[in-house]
Amino acid sequence: MKRISILGSTGSIGQNTIDLVRRDPAAFQVVALTGGQNIDQLARDAKELKAEVAVTADDARLDDLRTALKGTKIEAAAGAEALIEAAQRPAHWVMSAIVGSAGLRPGLAALEQGATLALANKESLVAAGPLVMKTARTNGARILPVDSEHSAIFQALRGEDSAAVTRIIITASGGAFRDWPLEDLERATPEQAATHPNWDMGQRITIDSASMFNKALEMIEAREFFGFAPNQIEVLIHPESLVHAMVAYCDGGIIAHVGPHDMRHAIGHAMYWPERYPLPVEQLNLAAVGQLNFHEPDLRRYPVLRLAREVMDERGFSGAIFNAAKERALDHFIAGHIGFCDMCDIVEEVLARLSSEDSLNSAGFTLETVLEADQLARARADDVVKERTR
Ligand SMILES: NC(=O)C1=CN([C@@H]2O[C@H](COP(=O)(O)OP(=O)(O)OC[C@H]3O[C@@H](n4cnc5c(N)ncnc54)[C@H](OP(=O)(O)O)[C@@H]3O)[C@@H](O)[C@H]2O)C=CC1
Ligand SMILES: CC(=O)[C@@H](O)[C@H](O)COP(=O)(O)O
Ligand SMILES: [Mn+2]
């Protein structure tokens, strides 16, 4: 029986993971489940799956969690350190599905205990790619990609020599506003942005999909995970979201990964790897699909793709700054403080302001300095928002 933990179990990826666990109960023993505000879901799942421990990220919700778990033997805990302790509990496989850079420290803790980390939390790799990969190497731990494009690349690479790969192509749906006139974008609301044409996902990644920040993060994620050079990483708009990524080889062949837009494929692939296991996802009928379309992204509509290339070239702390500034800009957009198009401008401005920050330029790349860069970027993003909304 595989001992598994699910970090971010109450979210979209977490619930899809639990769906697969529920369908194969003899295969998995659940160690830890973690959530944030959704205490009812966390407690319900912990009871059903007989978890050892349930953790909420919010200290103030500990009493609620204790009440919800009353009469069971399940431990209840709360707060950032409790999340790390949960990730350190011996497990064979840990799903990293907390949203945002809050997932970084728990993910590292899981790698430090040698667990296989199923990585949905792309923000960890964007903020601290070299550190995450090194932590896996030094602890003999494995990272398996869960982000659909990266799972697709992993599958299309088929363990082949990466020197034979000329480029990888990551597909993007184009998001909620792909067909909107450009001049309407500045009036787009958070509710409109949080509607995805194909995928059913959490609110934040869905808005990132509309702004193309999601794809920008994924380009950097691909660079950090697979080690491809920035000029080998391409993005194509593919409105059907059925081809998740393609790997092009030096002999002219391109291997595409095709599948329905259902994250249980990528999650299940990481759960059962290196085996293939029957999963409850639709078998695509390509004759019924009929057409698969691809086109180049328009950088006027998606200016953040240009920023992603600058971040990939720069490396260092620019990934942590890019991600944290994006997280704050997104908070401000959701709160109605700024418009949809302001998010990219704010992140660009924060990157520019922090490029000459002495405390970062002289620092080594450690967890502490990455967290410092993250905090600085959040503060600068708040400054920029204040200046623009004065
Ligand atoms: N959804 C998808 O299909 C895909 C998601 N991903 C990535 O997977 C990750 C999760 O995405 P998704 O499931 O959509 O997100 P959701 O918003 O649906 O879920 C996020 C999870 O993180 C918890 N959480 C929120 N804030 C914190 C915090 N500060 N500390 C600890 N836990 C927290 C939430 O708890 P609660 O809800 O209880 O407050 C919830 O369990 C993201 O990194 C995303 O980019 C990648 C590819 C596809
Ligand atoms: C399912 C998944 O991996 C998401 O990251 C998805 O790719 C989002 O869709 P976009 O292509 O619209 O960003
Ligand atoms: Mn993705």
pLDDT tens, position by position, 196-212: 999 999 999 999 999 99
| pTM over 0.90, yes/no | yes
Largest Cα–Cα distance in the chain? 63
pLDDT of residue 162: 85
**Coil vs helix vs strand at 295:** strand
10 alpha carbon to ligand 1 midpoint, in Å? 8
Closest-lying ligand to the alpha carbon of 39?
Answer: 1
Q: Which residue has the least CA distance to atom 8 on ligand 2?
A: 209
Percent pLDDT > 90 in the chain is: 96
Closest-lying ligand to the alpha carbon of 97?
Answer: 1
Confidence of residue 344 (pLDDT cuts 50, 70, 90): very high
pLDDT of residue 356: 87
Check the annotation: does 5 bind a ligand.
no
Compute the residue count for the chain.
390
CB neighbours (10 Å) of residue 121?
A: 29
Beta bridge partners of 235: 170
Q: Is 199 in the pocket of ligand 2 (CB under 6 A)?
A: yes
Q: Cα–Cα distance between 72 and 50 in angstroms, integer?
A: 9
The reply to whether 2-145 and 316-389 are identical in fold is: no
- Which residues, including other chains, have CB under 8 Å from residue 314's CB and lie 6 or more apart? none
Q: In this predicted model, what pLDDT tens digit does every residue of 10-34 receive, in sequence order?
A: 999 999 999 999 999 999 999 999 9
Beta strands in the chain (DSSP E): 2-7, 28-35, 53-56, 75-78, 93-96, 116-119, 143-145, 165-172, 233-237, 243-249, 254-258
Residue ranges of domains in the chain: 2-145, 150-258+267-289, 316-389
Report phi then psi at 29, rounded to 5: -115, 125
Q: Is 127 in the pocket of ligand 1 (CB under 6 A)?
A: no
How many helices and strands in the chain, by DSSP H and E? 17, 11
Q: Which fold has domain 2-145?
A: Rossmann fold (3.40.50)
Which of 6, 7, 9, 13 for a ligand 1 pocket mutation test, highest count of atoms within 8 Å of Cβ? 13
Q: Cα–Cα distance between 216 and 347 in angstroms, integer?
A: 12
Percent pLDDT > 70 in the chain is: 100
Give the end-to-end CA distance of the chain in Å, rounded to a whole number: 58
Q: Is 263 in the pocket of ligand 1 (CB under 6 A)?
A: yes
Peptide bond preceding 274 in cis form (omega within 30 of 0): yes
**Amino acid at the residue 12:** S
Q: Which residue has the least CA distance to atom 11 on ligand 2?
A: 172
Q: Cα–Cα distance between 333 and 322 in angstroms, integer?
A: 16
Q: Helices marked H in 227-339 — which ranges?
A: 264-272, 286-289, 304-314, 318-334
* ipTM computed for the complex: 0.99
Q: Cα–Cα distance between 223 and 231 in angstroms, integer?
A: 10
Q: Is 38 in the pocket of ligand 1 (CB under 6 A)?
A: yes
Please state the atom number of ligand 1 nearest to the C-alpha of residue 121: 43
pLDDT of residue 159: 85
State the CATH class of domain 316-389. Answer: mainly alpha
- C-alpha torsion angle, residues 115, 209, 384, 361 (rounded to 10): 40
- Whether 43 shows a pLDDT value over 90: the answer reads yes
Q: Cα–Cα distance between 143 and 127 in angstroms, integer?
A: 16
Q: In this predicted model, what pLDDT tens digit does every residue of 229-285 receive, in sequence order?
A: 999 999 999 999 999 999 999 999 999 999 999 999 999 999 999 999 999 999 999
Check the annotation: does 362 bind a ligand.
no
Q: What is the arithmetic mean of pLDDT over 326-352? A: 98
198 alpha carbon to ligand 3 midpoint, in Å? 12
Mean pLDDT of all residues in the chain? 97
**Coil vs helix vs strand at 229:** coil
Q: Is 209 in the pocket of ligand 2 (CB under 6 A)?
A: yes
Q: Helices marked H in 60-185 — which ranges?
A: 62-68, 80-88, 104-112, 122-138, 148-157
| Tokens found for residue 84 | 């790390």
Report phi then psi at 297, rounded to 5: -70, 145
**Coil vs helix vs strand at 166:** strand
- How large is the C-alpha radius of gyration of the chain? 20
Check the annotation: does 268 bind a ligand.
no
Check the annotation: does 40 bind a ligand.
no
Check the annotation: does 221 bind a ligand.
no
276 alpha carbon to ligand 2 midpoint, in Å? 23
Q: Which residue has the least CA distance to atom 6 on ligand 1?
A: 120
Check the annotation: does 9 bind a ligand.
no
Please state the atom number of ligand 2 nearest to the C-alpha of residue 261: 1
Q: Which residue has the least CA distance to atom 40 on ligand 1?
A: 11
- Which residues, including other chains, have CB under 8 Å from residue 299's CB and lie 6 or more apart? 305, 306
Distances (CA, A) of 99 to 36, 104, 193, 321, 347: 10, 10, 18, 16, 19
234 near 149, Cβ under 8 Å?
no
